[in-house]
């Protein structure tokens, strides 16, 4: 493997300094002259007709500058695809969930804006509501959208191979029903925006977005502006996890209020706005009927899935598509049938969250595999080894596995936790029937390394070398905390042979940076990384032409290392990098050193109707192993150890990869045993960090080991693949399988709370299944 | 609504500020909106997440729950006041080097909480660090690296104290 100067090293983040000194400015930290403050009025009803909205008293309040309602948006709807645009910026004649935005106010300060909100009189006529997705799909259920009969927001069907024959011929068939609950993204930085209407016709927006170009497109459509007149400027982003992709009411309202007033308008959501009424992960009911051979080889699975979508569609069709497509990874599944319905319910809207659609289905499928292993008396590790995919494998739905370190990830994860010895120890321990039961669990994952999309899917980069040797890197990608700016800067610095601090990464400014799909689907390192490499090499080529002339050689012989430029094999005769940059600017008639690059996965678009085809150019694989303790007296579960072994292609920054793995364990642990949006009559009862209960520093395992399996992927920049979302896909099943190992109870509904554990141990839940 | 205005003198990062405030304003609002010290973050504004932690007379205080009017005569330190003439505080250095930062939004609060721990207990155990920062919510890191960073900073500070090496 090539030895690099910067790439592959445990390098601290390029944005770490401003983040430890407090200089890093996030959207809510910004202000400007004439700034007005906006507040939003929300519906108290889960489902109601809006009979009238009277804003006259609010408008008369001292300090109020403008009020907007649905009328201002003249029927504009937004959404993921043309056919799914069902969401208005503000509710029109119907509200569909508690907290739906109804009107917005801009005033000279926040307090006046809040007071004005209370003066808006909305007359509602309550309608019957439905909260349970299965009930919503039944005949006679209250209907949310007139043009979507039966409350069907999206419907996906896939059918590959002869599943009926597979199940008929199987040695063993199991049917199980699993439920994954409603969980939140939980980012700390609230949604915030400043919008400024430009009198020449245009909008400038500063907003906290992980995919700012969605905002760019949505504002252009909403305000009927050319895209080039929407300027989205990206401040630092305080976490996203899928929750900051979309455009929300605050973005549209701030822009509309600014248009109406002629002043910039800032809106910052409060905790309750986000934790009580905001986007969340799709709860899913998953029924799997799976057949295997006597040796535990998977033959086929038939899956029925109901996703609880909430009141609008958002990216829901893609969510349930991914849940189905990933039935075929990471285990060989020769045939499968999938039917999924996303139901509208009178609850906040569900969307993408880390792993998008995969963590739910992997929980169901991997835990069912655990049950199959028990039924057939096959070792849980062995049954996985027998079924794993390998490089060159083509799934039933025609996804092509290129590099694949899945087997190695099993080996490494077992080694790290000392599986077989701990296994024996635990068996001995549990025989004593003490208060604490111990368990070991394993689960595997497969995920897309850089999602391929409809429409524009390429990432681009511009590399500009200054005459003093400084380098500016412009991309359209966003670092919402995952560390992609650092990775992209490392790639650039490596190629020019300069220290990392030489490279300045610009955040998105849609007037200046190239358009980009966004930071989702694990696509920044994998996709933007390649674009950066191409751009850097193009810029470097211009320098090489001059260097070759000065050094008396060929362009192809020029090397860039340690801030020095020389001909291959002759480092003694070198020009300092800075000097070469200066020379190049003044060389001949003078030139500017700029390189542009773009890159996209060279794969065909999947067939969205049938579900056939690749979702990404390449895939990642991994294994997670969990060691837990279950307290029989309190029902409390303690995760003692967690190992993440992930085939990430190549670790461009092992320190950042570890951080991603640890963050995945945290997110997965929360999903598995702690977190849940408790919703009653459509109202989220725990809309605060105190009541929602994400794990604290005390709840995390004391031992977390992160192992990078390097398979040097042909597609990835420097061989790298994603290492961010895929790692959260198997966290939940690894822990649930460990709890099963400890207690003998398979928990088929998340989260596995102490209450459920106690009930199960008392035998109130049928033997073997919780 | 009638708000009572008053002028207060606040000592923040060793500087005196005379500001006109309304009596119901929190320290967080005054730091961010009046003094421009936006390094202290507002996340939940309910005292649940620790992002707004500052140090008041040596103790960690959730500035979203403290009234600015009650802060006269007290010594307030925010993240902006942590580094001094000798450069970054060891906690800041350790957070950078250990990879303890991802999105960075919880970082100022975490560092300020950790500082009060290390001021009182220069040689904490891992469990003591975890307990001290258990009121600071971080969604990105899983706390592993922040805990390591606090322990590394403690070591740096102890060595600095002993004069073993000058860490800046």
Summarize pLDDT for B133-147 with one digit per residue, the tens.
Answer: 999 999 999 999 999
Q: Average model confidence (pLDDT) for chain A? A: 96
Q: Test B134 with A696 for CB contact under 8 angstroms.
A: yes
Integer Cα distance of A329 and A396 in angstroms: 10
Integer Cα distance of A202 and A228 in angstroms: 8
How high is the pLDDT of residue A172?
98
Closest C-alpha to A281, from A365, A156, A186, A177: A186
Architecture of domain A31-127+189-238+244-277: Alpha-Beta Complex (3.90)
Partners of A702 on chain B (C-beta within 8 Å) are 126
Partners of A658 on chain B (C-beta within 8 Å) are 99, 145
Partners of B48 on chain A (C-beta within 8 Å) are 271, 688-690
Identify the band that residue A602 occupies on the pLDDT scale cut at 50, 70 and 90. confident
A433-452: buried (b, 16+ CB within 10 Å) or exposed (e) per residue?
eeeebbbbbbbbbbbbbbbb
Q: Does A26 touch chain B (CB under 8 A)?
A: yes
Residue A764 has pLDDT above 70, yes or no: no
For residue range A402-428, what is the model confidence (pLDDT) as tens digits? 999 999 999 999 999 999 999 999 999
For residue range A178-206, what is the model confidence (pLDDT) as tens digits? 999 999 999 999 999 999 999 999 999 99
Tell me, what DSSP letter sits at residue A144? S
Q: Where are the beta strands (DSSP E) in A60-171?
A: 64-69, 94-95, 101-107, 121-126, 152-160
- Cα A667 to its chain centre, rounded Å, is 11
| Domain A280-451+607-761 CATH (choose: 3.40.30.10, 3.30.365.10, 3.30.2320.80, 3.40.50.1370) | 3.30.365.10
Q: Does B32 touch chain A (CB under 8 A)?
A: yes
- The minimal CB distance from A663 to the residues B49, B96, B102 is found for B102
Evaluate whether A31-127+189-238+244-277 and A280-451+607-761 have a shared fold.
Answer: no
Closest C-alpha to A506, from A232, A234, A743: A234
Q: Does B145 touch chain A (CB under 8 A)?
A: yes
Integer Cα distance of A597 and A538 in angstroms: 8
Q: Does A32 touch chain B (CB under 8 A)?
A: no
For residue range A308-362, what is the model confidence (pLDDT) as tens digits? 999 999 999 999 999 999 999 999 999 999 999 999 999 999 999 999 999 999 9
Partners of A478 on chain B (C-beta within 8 Å) are none
User: For chain B, how long is the longest CA-to-CA vector?
Assistant: 59
Domain ranges (residues) in chain A: 16-23+453-599, 31-127+189-238+244-277, 280-451+607-761
Sheet holding A298-310, edge to edge: A152-160, A336-344, A298-310, A284-292, A172-180
Bridging pattern class, strands A350-351 and A230-233: unpaired
- The minimal CB distance from A688 to the residues B46, B99, B144 is found for B46
Integer Cα distance of A754 and B163 in angstroms: 50
Q: Which residue matches tokens 């503000």?
A: A90
Closest C-alpha to B55, from B14, B100, B103, B90: B14
- Nearest chain B CA: its distance from A663 CA (Å): 5
Q: Which residue matches tokens 């051979």?
A: A293
Structure tokens that stand for A329 in this block: 């990874």
Beta carbons of A615 and A448 less than 8 angstroms apart: yes
Q: Does A663 touch chain B (CB under 8 A)?
A: yes
How high is the pLDDT of residue B168?
42
Number of Cβ within a 10 Å radius of residue A140? 6
Beta carbons of A151 and A338 less than 8 angstroms apart: no
Q: Cα(first)–Cα(last) distance of chain B, in Å?
A: 51
Q: Test B39 with A697 for CB contact under 8 angstroms.
A: no
CA distances in angstroms from A252 to A76, A258, A265, A350, A351, listed in the order given:
11, 10, 11, 19, 19
- The phi, psi pair for A267, rounded to 5°, reads -130, 130
Who has greater pLDDT, A767 or A58?
A: A58
Integer Cα distance of A178 and A195 in angstroms: 44
Closest C-alpha to A219, from A201, A240, A199, A242: A201
* Superfamily for the B5-81 domain: Beta-grasp domain (3.10.20.30)
Q: Test B41 with A696 for CB contact under 8 angstroms.
A: no
Assign B120 to helix, strand or coil: helix
Q: Which residue in A has a C-alpha nearest to residue B107's C-alpha?
A: A20
Domain ranges (residues) in chain B: 5-81, 90-162
Residue A83 has pLDDT above 90, yes or no: no
Q: Test B142 with A689 for CB contact under 8 angstroms.
A: no
Beta carbons of A214 and A325 less than 8 angstroms apart: no
- The minimal CB distance from B140 to the residues A18, A24, A481 is found for A481
Partners of A111 on chain B (C-beta within 8 Å) are 1, 3
Identify the band that residue A455 occupies on the pLDDT scale cut at 50, 70 and 90. confident
Residue A10 has pLDDT above 70, yes or no: yes
CATH class of B90-162: mainly alpha
How high is the pLDDT of residue A769?
57
Beta carbons of A699 and A401 less than 8 angstroms apart: no
Q: Does A8 touch chain B (CB under 8 A)?
A: no
Integer Cα distance of A208 and A25 in angstroms: 11
Q: Does B114 touch chain A (CB under 8 A)?
A: no
Q: Does A11 touch chain B (CB under 8 A)?
A: no
CA distances in angstroms from A447 to A314, A419, A662, A730, listed in the order given:
22, 25, 17, 10
ipTM: 0.96
| Domain A16-23+453-599 CATH (choose: 3.40.630.30, 3.30.365.10, 1.10.10.60, 3.65.10.10) | 3.30.365.10
How high is the pLDDT of residue A2?
67
Beta carbons of A43 and A97 less than 8 angstroms apart: yes
Residue B167 has pLDDT above 50, yes or no: no
- The minimal CB distance from A12 to the residues B97, B111, B143 is found for B97
Q: Which residue matches tokens 């300027």?
A: A231
pLDDT, mean of residues A695-724: 96
Integer Cα distance of A231 and A244 in angstroms: 18
How high is the pLDDT of residue A768?
52
- Nearest chain B CA: its distance from A14 CA (Å): 9
How many beta-carbon contacts under 8 Å exist across A and B?
A: 165
* Window 39-68 of B, Cβ < 8 Å to A: 39-46, 48-49, 51
Integer Cα distance of A51 and A335 in angstroms: 52
* Window 698-727 of A, Cβ < 8 Å to B: 698, 700, 702, 704
Q: What is the pTM for the complete model shown?
A: 0.97
Q: Exposure of A201 by Cβ count < 10 A (0-12 exposed, 13-18 middle, 19+ buried)?
A: exposed
- The minimal CB distance from B99 to the residues A237, A659, A702 is found for A659
- Nearest chain A CA: its distance from B118 CA (Å): 17
pLDDT, mean of residues B61-83: 97
Q: Test B146 with A697 for CB contact under 8 angstroms.
A: yes
Beta bridge partners of A50: A124
Which of A188, A487, A698 to substitute to test the interface with B, most B CBs within 10 Å? A188
Q: Exposure of A108 by Cβ count < 10 A (0-12 exposed, 13-18 middle, 19+ buried)?
A: middle
H, E, C per residue of B82-94: CCECCECCHHHHH
Partners of A189 on chain B (C-beta within 8 Å) are 41, 43, 103, 105
For residue range A95-154, what is the model confidence (pLDDT) as tens digits? 999 999 999 999 999 999 999 999 999 999 999 999 999 999 999 999 999 999 999 999
For chain A, give the percent of residues with pLDDT over 90: 95
Q: Test B49 with A689 for CB contact under 8 angstroms.
A: yes
| Cis-peptide, bond into residue A500, ω within 30° of zero | no
């Amino acid at each position: 493997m090539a030895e690099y100067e910067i790439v592959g090293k445990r390098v601290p983040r390029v944005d770490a300094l401003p983040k430890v000194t407090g200089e890093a400015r996030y959207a809510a930290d910004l202000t400007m002259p004439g700034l007005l403050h906006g507040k939003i009025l929300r519906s108290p009803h889960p489902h109601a007709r809006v009979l009238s909205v009277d804003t006259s008293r609010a408008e008369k309040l001292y300090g109020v500058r403008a009020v907007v309602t649905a009328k201002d948006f003249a029927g504009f709807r937004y959404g993921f695809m043309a056919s799914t645009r069902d969401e208005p910026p503000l509710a029109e004649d119907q509200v569909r969930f508690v907290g739906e935005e109804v009107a917005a106010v801009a005033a000279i300060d926040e307090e006046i804006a809040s007071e004005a909100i209370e003066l808006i009189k909305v007359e509602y006529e309550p309608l019957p509501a439905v909260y349970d997705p299965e009930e919503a799909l039944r005949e006679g259920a209250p209907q949310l959208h007139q043009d979507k009969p039966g409350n069907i927001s999206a419907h996906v069907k896939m059918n590959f191979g002869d599943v009926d024959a597979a199940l008929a011929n199987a040695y063993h068939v199991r049917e199980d029903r699993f439920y994954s609950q409603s969980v939140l993204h939980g980012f700390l930085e609230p949604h915030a925006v400043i919008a400024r209407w430009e009198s020449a016709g245009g909008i400038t927006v500063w907003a906290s977005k992980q995919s700012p170009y969605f905002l760019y497109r949505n504002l252009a459509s909403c305000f009927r502006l050319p895209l080039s007149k929407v300027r989205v400027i990206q401040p630092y982003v305080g976490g996203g996890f899928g929750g900051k992709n979309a455009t929300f009411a605050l973005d549209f309202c701030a822009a509309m209020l600014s248009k109406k007033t002629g002043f910039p308008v800032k809106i910052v959501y409060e905790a309750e706005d986000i934790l009580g009424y905001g986007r969340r992960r799709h709860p899913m009911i998953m029924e799997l009927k799976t057949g295997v051979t006597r040796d535990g080889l998977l033959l086929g699975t038939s899956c029925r899935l109901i996703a609880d979508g909430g009141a609008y569609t958002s990216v829901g069709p893609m969510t349930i598509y991914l849940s189905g497509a990933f039935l075929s990874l990471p285990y060989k599944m020769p045939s499968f049938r999938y039917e999924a319905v996303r139901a509208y319910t009178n609850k906040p809207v569900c969307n993408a969250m880390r792993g998008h659609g995969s963590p739910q289905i992997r929980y169901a499928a991997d835990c069912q595999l655990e049950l199959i292993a028990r039924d057939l008396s096959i070792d849980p590790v062995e049954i996985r080894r027998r079924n794993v995919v390998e490089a060159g494998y083509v799934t039933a739905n025609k996804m092509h596995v290129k590099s694949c370190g899945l087997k190695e990830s099993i080996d490494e994860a077992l080694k790290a936790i000392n599986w077989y010895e701990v296994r024996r120890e635990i068996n001995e321990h549990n025989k004593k029937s003490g208060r604490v039961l111990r368990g070991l669990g394993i689960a595997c994952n497969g995920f897309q390394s850089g999602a391929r999309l409809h429409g524009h899917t390429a990432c681009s980069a511009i590399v500009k070398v200054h005459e003093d040797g400084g380098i500016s890197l412009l991309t359209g990608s966003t670092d919402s905390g995952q560390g992609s700016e650092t990775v992209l800067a490392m790639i650039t610095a490596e190629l020019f042979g300069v220290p990392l601090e030489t490279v300045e990464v610009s955040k998105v400014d849609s007037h200046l940076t190239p358009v980009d799909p966004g930071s989702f689907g694990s696509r920044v390192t994998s996709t933007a990384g390649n674009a950066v490499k191409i751009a850097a090499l193009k810029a470097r080529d211009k320098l090489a032409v001059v260097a070759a002339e000065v050094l008396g050689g060929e362009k192809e012989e020029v090397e860039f290392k340690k801030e020095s430029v020389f001909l291959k094999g002759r480092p003694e005769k070198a020009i300092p990098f800075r000097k070469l940059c200066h020379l190049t600017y003044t060389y001949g008639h003078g030139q500017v050193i700029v390189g542009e690059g773009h890159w996209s996965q060279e794969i065909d678009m999947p067939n969205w109707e049938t579900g056939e085809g690749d979702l990404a150019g390449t895939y990642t694989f991994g294994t997670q192993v969990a060691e837990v303790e279950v307290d029989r007296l309190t029902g409390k579960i303690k995760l003692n150890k967690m190992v993440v072994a992930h085939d990430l292609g190549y670790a461009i920054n092992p320190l950042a990869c570890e951080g991603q793995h640890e963050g995945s364990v945290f997110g997965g642990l929360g999903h598995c045993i702690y977190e849940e949006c408790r919703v009653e009559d459509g109202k989220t009862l725990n809309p605060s960090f105190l009541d929602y209960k994400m794990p604290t520093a005390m709840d995390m395992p004391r031992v977390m080991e992160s192992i990078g399996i390097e398979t040097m992927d042909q597609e990835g920049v420097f061989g790298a693949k994603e290492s961010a979302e895929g790692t959260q896909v198997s966290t939940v099943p690894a822990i649930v399988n460990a709890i099963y190992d400890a207690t003998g109870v398979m928990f088929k509904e998340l989260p596995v709370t102490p209450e459920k554990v106690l009930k199960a141990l008392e035998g109130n839940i049928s033997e073997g299944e919780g | 609504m009638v708000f009572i205005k008053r002028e207060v003198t606040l000592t923040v990062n060793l500087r005196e500020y005379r500001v006109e405030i309304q009596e119901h304003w929190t320290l967080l609002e005054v730091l961010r909106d009046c003094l421009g010290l936006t390094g202290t973050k507002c996340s939940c504004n309910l005292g649940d997440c620790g992002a707004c932690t500052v140090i008041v007379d040596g103790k960690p205080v959730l500035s979203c729950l403290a009234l600015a009017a009650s802060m006269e005569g007290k010594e307030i330190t925010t993240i902006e006041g942590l580094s001094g003439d000798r450069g970054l505080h060891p906690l800041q250095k350790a957070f950078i080097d250990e990879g303890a930062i991802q999105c960075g939004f919880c970082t100022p609060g975490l560092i300020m909480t950790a500082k009060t721990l290390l001021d009182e207990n220069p040689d904490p155990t891992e469990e003591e660090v975890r307990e001290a920062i258990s009121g600071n919510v971080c969604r990105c890191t899983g706390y592993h690296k922040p805990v390591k960073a606090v322990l590394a900073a403690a070591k740096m500070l102890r060595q600095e104290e002993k004069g073993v090496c000058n860490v800046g």
